[in-house]
Chain A
Amino acid sequence: MSGSNTIDRRDFLRVLGISGAAATLAGCGNTAIESGVEKVQSYVQPEDFVVPGVGVYYASTCAQCGSGCGVMGRVREGRILKLEGNTHSVISGGKICALGQAAVQVHYNPDRLTTPLMREGGELKPTTWDKAMATLTARLGGESTLKGAQIAFLTGEVSGHQKALIGNFLDSFNSTHHVVYDALSTATGQAASKAVLGAAQPLLQIDKATLILSFGNDFLGAGVSPVHMAAQYARFRKAPRGTLIQIEPRMTLTGANADRWYALKPGTEGVFALGLAHALLEHGQFAKTVPAPIVAALKEYDKETVSGITGVHADAIPHVAGMLMEHTPSLVLSGPSAEGQVNGAQNAAAILLLNVILGNAGKTLQGQASHPFPQLIASAGSYAALTQLNNSMASGQCQALLIAGSNPIFSAPGFLPFAKSMEKVPFKVALVTQVDETAAQCDLVLPLHSPLEAFGSHVSSYQPRGVEIGIQQPLMEGLYPDTRAFGDIVLDLLRQREPKNYKAFPDYYAYLKLAITKARPVFKSKLSDDDFWEDALRSGVLQLDAAPTALKTNASVVVVSKPEKHVIDVRYPFYFVPSVRADLRDGRHANLPWLQESPDSLTTIVWDSWVEIHPSTAAEMQIREGDILEVQSASGSVRAKAYLFPGLQPDTVSMPLGQGHTAYGRYANGMGVNPFKILNPLFDAQTGELATHATRVVIKKTGEHELMVKDEGATNLQQGRKLVATVAADQAELAKETSHVVE
C-alpha cells in the first residue's frame, strides 16, 4: 500500500475508532478524507472483526450435556446464529449433535427469565438485582451464621472452574454439601466398573473392537459423549467392519444400528452374561481368567436355564459365545437397562466379567489418562445424594438451598417427597435461564446468562484422548440487561464472605483468566500469559497429550448367585422400561422447539409422550395405535397413547422420559406425561441407587382414542421399493471403498 491515494493502516484504524482517537485527521493528503474535508465514521462503532454481512466463527464449549464438546459459533452482526463442531476438540472432532444445535434456542428462548424473581405473599414477583442481592447477602453474605449441613448447593453435572467456585463457596461455610443430582445417573454401572475393571469410566476403544456386545448401552444416543462415540462407531463400521450385537428389553438408538438385536426380560442381563461366561469357560483357553469358585458356580448357568429366565432363545447363547470367541478383540458394555435394577450392580459386574474372560482390558478398554486437575472434573451425580439432601431438608437441618442446573421436582421419582421437604427450607434460591418446576418453588430466582453469553470452563468426566479442558466464551453480548453469569453471582457472594481472597477478582472473567493462565506450565506453553489465554479462547480447548493408563481387572468381585426366575406380581404383569431420548434427556431440553418437533428416531412421534407396546401383546389385548392407556404402578399412574413398537420384549411396556412439564415454558408445558412419577421405590442392592428400570405396571384401556402425531406414513415397510437397501457384510467390498471418516 504505497499509493498516495490510499488510506494507510494507521488512519484506517483511527477511522474505525480502534486507536481510540476520533479526531479529524489532520494533514494534506490527496483525498478528501486525508485532508480532513470529509470524515468517515464507523458503522455503529464496530467491535473487532465485526464486518456487516460477514459471519465470523468463535470457539466455545457446548453446555447442553456433560460431554464438553468443542463448538464454533457463527456470529454475524453481533448475533449468534448457529453452532458447528470445533475441529480442534478431541471430544467433538468438529461434529455436533441435535442437542448441541439447539443450544441457540436456550439462548433465544422466548420464555427466558429476564429479571430476578422474589417470593412476596406466596407468589414469585419480579424484582430488581439490588433487592435480590440484598436478600442474598443478608442470608448468605459475610454476616451469615450458617454452617456445615445448614447450607447445600444442588446442581446437575457441573465441572471446571464453576465447580471449583461452588466448592470454595461452600467451604466458606465449612459445608461439603455440593449435591449433584442427575436423574439419569450411571452411578450403579460406575461402581460395578470400578470393582471389576478398576475404573469407573474406562476408555472405550470402539474403533479397535471387531465385535461389540452391548447390554442396553446406548452409546450412540443418550450415553456418555455420544458425538465422540459416533465418530468412533463410524470407524468401527469401516473395513474390516466390526459387528454390533445389542441385547436389551427395549430397542435403543444403538440397538437400532445393531447387526443382531435380541430382546430379553428386563433385569435378566446378568443371567444372560453369566450364561455366556459359562459357555466361554467350557473352552480351555479361557479357563484361567476367572477364579475357580466362579467357574464352579457358573455350572448352573446352562443355556436352557438361562433361556428360561431371560426369555431369549437357548440357541442364542452358544451362538453369541461363538461370535465372541471368533472376534478378538471384542468389547462388552453394560447400560442403563441392565444397571437400573435391584440387582443392577450385579448385572453390570457379570457383563463386565466377559471383558475379563475375553482379555479385552488393555485392547479395547483402557484407563483414562491421569488428569492434572482432578478437582475440575465433573463429579458423578447420584440418587443417594438427592435422598440425603431430601432427609436433611425434611428434618429441618438444611436452612439454605441453592439450585442450579437441576430440576428434581420434575425428575425425581414421585415417591420421594422432594417438593414437600423443600418447603421446610426457609431460604431457597434457584439460578436459572428459564423458570422450571423446581425454581417455581424457590424464594428467590436469579436469571442467568445463557451459556452463549458467559465465560466458563468444562472438564468432562469422560476424556477420550489425553486431557481436554473446554473453554466457554460469550458468543454475543447479553440479550437482556438483567441477566448475570453464574460465575459472577457465586463470585459476588464469595467476595463478601472472603474479601481477602477474592477482592482481586472484579468478575468471573478475571477469575477464570487468572486460573487458566496459572495452569500454563502444565500445558508446557512458552507463550506469555496473555497470549496463552488468547490462544485458549481462539482454539476453544486446552489439550494435553497423556497416555491411557492400564486397568487392573478383578474377576473375583463378581457374585454368581443361583440363577432364579423373577417372581411375578400378578397385579402388575408388565415390566416398565423408561426410555431416554437422546435429545430431551431427563426433560431439561423439553423447552426447545427444534427438539420437540424433531421426530423421535425410533417411533417418529413428535410433541408427545406415548406407551410402547409389542404388536403381539397389543393384538392379544386388542389395543390399536392411539388408544389411550392408563399405565399404573404401585406408585402412581399416567395416561398416554399406545404405539405399537416391535423393538420391545413382549412382557414389557416402555415410555420415553422428558415430557410432562407443568412449568417450563410454552414449548414444554402440557406436552405428554412424566413417567418419573410412577417409578417404584426400588433400589440397587449394592449401591442403593434408584432402580429406574425395575418398576412393574398394569395396563388399562380407557376406551379413549386420539390421533398419534408422528412423521412415519401409513406403512413402516418398504413394500418392495428400494429405499433403504441392505447388503450382507460378506457381499460388500468395504476395503475397496474411499473412506472419508475424519480421525
Chain B
Amino acid sequence: MSLSNLIKNWSSLRVKRPYQDQYKNADYKWGMVIDLDSCTGCNACTTACYAENNLPVVGKESFSKGQAMHWLRIERYWGEGTELAQFPDHGAQFLPMMCQQCESAPCEVVCPVGATHHTPDGLNSQVYNRCIGSRYCSANCPYKVRYFNWWQYPERAWPNPLEKQLNPDVTVRSKGVMEKCTFCVQRLTAAKNQARTDGRRVADGEVTTACAQACPTSAITFGNMADSQSQVAKIWARQQVELASDKQDKKDEGLRGYRIFEELRTYPSVLYLERVRNSDA
C-alpha cells in the first residue's frame, strides 16, 4: 500500500467497524482459541515463540526496566477476596497473553505512519521498515502486547554462534521499531503460497502457530475462521461468540467462550475458554 493510497483511503481504512459475515466470502481470517482449563502455565509456548520469531533475550537489567520482548507471555493471577484469605485454594490462574489481532485495533488508528494496519486475512500487521518508533500504538494497546526495541539487539542478543539459530523467514528487528505477535505470519504466508500454487485453500491443520504446535496440552487451537469447517471456526460457533459483535447473545448455558476486554470494542480474534474448577473439591 503506497502512502498516497493510504492517505486517500484514510477514513475507509481507519474507522470501519467489523461487521457481520465480513469474512464470509474471504479465503482467510486467522483466529485462535485458548482453553484456560487445559493451560498449565508451563511456558512451552513462550519459549517456542522465542525460537520461531527471533525474539531477543534482553538480560536481567533490561528486563527489570520492563523491556522484555516476549510477544507471548503467561500472566499469573491469584484469586481475589476470600479465596486468597490464606492460601490460593484453587490454584493459580494462568493467562497466555499475546496480540489479540483485534478486528478494530486501537493501535492501528493511532499510528502516524501507517506502520500497523489490518491485512485482508484479518491480521494486525506491523511493518517494521515503516515504523518510526512513536510508540503510540503501545500506549493505546489495552492488552500491553506491543514491544519496543530500546536497543540494537542484533548486536547484543545473539553472540556468535547463537545467531545461527535465527529463523531466516523472520526479520531481525533493529533499534527503534515496535514489534508484536504476528500469528507466525511467515508460516501463514508460506502455507498460503503453497496452497495458491496447488490451486486450493490452506487446509485446516496444515499451518499452525509455533505456540499451538508446541503446547503439550493442546490448549491453543489456531486456524482459518473463514473456513466454517475448521476446528477454530467450529469452536467459536459452538461457544456462540460472534467475531463482529461486542455483546455476545448466547442462547445456551454452560458455554465457556469469552474475549478479553470485549467491552472496549476491540473485537479480538482470540477466544478464551474459561478455566474450570470443581468447587466441591
A contact residues vs B (CB 8 Å cutoff) = 53, 55, 76-77, 79-85, 95-98, 100-102, 104-105, 107-110, 220-221, 226-227, 230-231, 233-234, 237, 241, 243-246, 251, 253-263, 323, 479, 582-583, 593-599, 601-602, 604, 606-608, 616, 646-647, 650, 666, 671, 707, 709, 711-712, 716-719, 721-734, 736-738, 740-742
Contacts and interface: CB of A to CB of B under 8 A. Distances in A.
Contact of B256 (A231, A608, A671, A727): A727
A704 to B, nearest CB: 17
Interface stretch (B113-121, B130-138, B161-169): B161-169
B242 interface: no
B78 A646 contact: yes
Given A257-B41, A647-B87, A726-B276, A105 B258 contact: no
B162, B221, B274, B281 — which one has the most chain A CB atoms within 10 A of its CB? B281
12 contacts: A96-B48, A220-B42, A246-B91, A256-B92, A257-B91, A259-B278, A582-B43, A594-B51, A607-B63, A716-B77, A726-B93, A732-B274
Given A81-B167, A716-B78, A733-B252, A259 B90 contact: yes
Contact of B277 (A479, A647, A726): A726
Nearest to A581: B43
Given A108-B161, A724-B93, A725-B272, A101 B48 contact: yes
B90 A740 contact: no
Contact of A607 (B60, B219, B261, B281): B60
Ranked nearest first, the 6 interchain pairs of A and B with the lowest CB-CB distance are A733-B254, A230-B216, A234-B217, A256-B92, A98-B47, A607-B60
A718 B165 contact: no
A727 B275 contact: yes
A53, A226, A257, A260 — which one has the most chain B CB atoms within 10 A of its CB? A257
Contacts of B36: 724-725
Nearest to B254: A733
Contact of B161 (A110, A256, A725): A110
Contact of B281 (A245, A719, A742): A245
Contact of B77 (A221, A599, A717): A717
A234 B34 CA distance: 13
A107 B76 CA distance: 31
Interface in B200-224: 210, 213-219, 221
Contact of B75 (A108, A227, A712): A712
Given A79-B164, A97-B214, A728-B278, 11 more contacts: A101-B50, A107-B165, A221-B42, A256-B41, A257-B92, A594-B51, A599-B74, A601-B42, A724-B95, A732-B276, A738-B235
Interface of B: 36-38, 40-44, 46-48, 50-52, 57-60, 63-64, 68, 70, 73-80, 84, 86-95, 159-162, 164-169, 210, 213-219, 221, 231, 234-235, 238, 252-256, 258, 260-261, 272-281
Contact of A102 (B47, B164, B234, B279): B47
B76 A601 contact: yes
Contacts of B166: 81
A101 B47 contact: yes
Contacts of B44: 95-98, 100-101
Nearest to B190: A55
B258 A725 contact: yes
Nearest to B263: A722
Nearest to A647: B88
B161, B278, B280 — which one has the most chain A CB atoms within 10 A of its CB? B278
B91 A717 contact: no
A606 B63 contact: yes
A596 B90 contact: no
Nearest to A603: B76
Contacts of B47: 98, 101-102, 583, 594-595, 598
A243 B281 CA distance: 7
A243 B84 CA distance: 21
Contacts of A76: 168
Contacts of B84: 646, 717
Nearest to B261: A721
Contacts of A245: 281
Contacts of A107: 165
Contacts of A83: 51
B68 A711 contact: yes
A726 B217 contact: no
Contacts of B165: 79-82, 104-105, 107-108
Contacts of B273: 737
B41 to A, nearest CB: 5
Given A261-B88, A599-B74, A726 B274 contact: yes
Given A77-B168, A234-B218, A727-B256, A256 B86 contact: no
Contacts of A261: 87-91
B266 to A, nearest CB: 14
B40, B77, B166, B252 — which one has the most chain A CB atoms within 10 A of its CB? B40
B58 A736 contact: no
Contact of A110 (B64, B160, B252): B160
B41 A253 contact: yes
A724 B275 contact: yes
Contact of A738 (B231, B258, B275): B231
Nearest to A326: B280
Given A226-B216, A601-B74, A260 B162 contact: no
Nearest to B253: A733
A502 to B, nearest CB: 34
Contact of B276 (A77, A241, A253, A254): A241
A616 B87 CA distance: 10
Contact of A718 (B38, B50, B77, B160): B77
A261 B86 CA distance: 12
A183 to B, nearest CB: 21
A650 B252 CA distance: 44
A98 B276 contact: no
Nearest to A246: B91
Given A98-B43, A718-B77, A733-B255, A727 B274 contact: yes
Contacts of A101: 44, 47-48, 50-51, 214
Contacts of B50: 101, 594
Given A241-B278, A593-B57, A726-B277, A740 B42 contact: no
A738 B91 contact: no
Contacts of A594: 47, 50-51, 57
A435 to B, nearest CB: 17
